[in-house]
Amino acid sequence: MDTASPHAPTVNRPEGWSGVVADWSSDQRSFKGASWGKVMMWIFLLSDTFIFGCFLLSYMSVRMSTTVPWPNPSEVFSLEIAGTNFPLILIAIMTFVLISSSGTMAMAVNSAYRRDRATTTALMLVTALFGATFVGMQAFEWSKLIHEGVRPWENPWGAAQFGAAFFTITGFHGTHVTIGVIMLLIVARKVWRGDFDNERPGGLTGRRGRYEMVEIAGLYWHFVDLVWVFIFALFYLW
C-alpha cells in the first residue's frame, strides 16, 4: 500500500549510484535532520577519533612489548610541594579543569539557543579560560620533564619509548585544546557583537537567528574533553 502523502510532490530520481550522485548534487541537504556544519564537524571528529585511537593503541602495544621497565607514572608525574611529593596532583587538577569546562560549554549552548547573548558570551569565555589554564599547566608539565631529562628518544626512569609516547600524545591533544580555545574566543566575539542575529558576513556565522555555531564549537570541545579521559586513564593511571 502506498503510504505517501497525496499532497507530496512526486520526484523522479535515477536509481543506484546515479540517484545518489543526483541527490548529493541537488539543492537539497543530503542530511535532512542536521545542518552541513554539524555533519561536517561529526565527520571531522570521527576521523580524529581514528587518529587518537591509533596513537593510544600504539602506546599500549609499545608498553606491553618493551623489555625495559616502564616508568611509574606516580613517580614521574609527582610534584613536590613544601617538601612533600604529591603523585599525579598536577594531572588531577588538569583533569578537573578540563572536565569543568565541559559543564560551562554545555551551559553556553543552552544559553545560546535561548538567545541570551551576555550569558552565552560569558560562559564561552570561562570555558576558554579553563582551556587556556589546562594548556598552561601542560606546558609546565612539559618543561618540568624536559628539565629532568625526558626526551623523545630517552628518559632517566626506564624505557626510552616513554618520552616519544608522552610528547606525541599529550602534544597532539594540547594542540587540539589550543585550537579549541581560539575557536571559542572567535565564536564568543561573534555572539557578543550579534553576528548570529544580524547574519553578519564572515566565517563561523551561519544563518540569521541561528546560534548553531555555538553548538558546533561545543561538539568539538566535548570531544577534546572525552579524549583526555582516555589519555588520563591509559597514560597516567595505567
pLDDT in tens, 191-230: 998 887 776 655 556 655 577 889 999 999 999 999 999 9
The per-residue pLDDT for range 28-45, each reduced to its tens digit, is: 555 556 677 888 899 999
* pLDDT tens readout for residues 69-100: 888 888 889 888 887 888 899 999 999 999 99
| Total tally of structural domains belonging to the chain | 1
Helix (H, G, I), strand (E, B) or coil at 185: helix
Whether residue 63 lies inside any domain: the answer is yes
CATH assignment of the domain containing 134: 1.20.120.80
| pLDDT at position 26 | 58
* Residue 50 domain boundaries: 33-236
In a domain, 14, yes or no: no
Q: Is the pLDDT of residue 181 over 70?
A: yes
SS3 179: helix
Higher pLDDT, 186 or 211: 186
In a domain, 18, yes or no: no
Higher pLDDT, 1 or 36: 36
Decide if 204 is inside a domain: yes
Q: How many whole angstroms separate alpha carbon 186 and alpha carbon 182?
A: 6
Measured N-to-C along each axis, helices 36-65 and 212-231 cross at an angle, to the nearest 10 degrees, of 10
**Banded pLDDT at 7 (limits 50, 70, 90):** very low
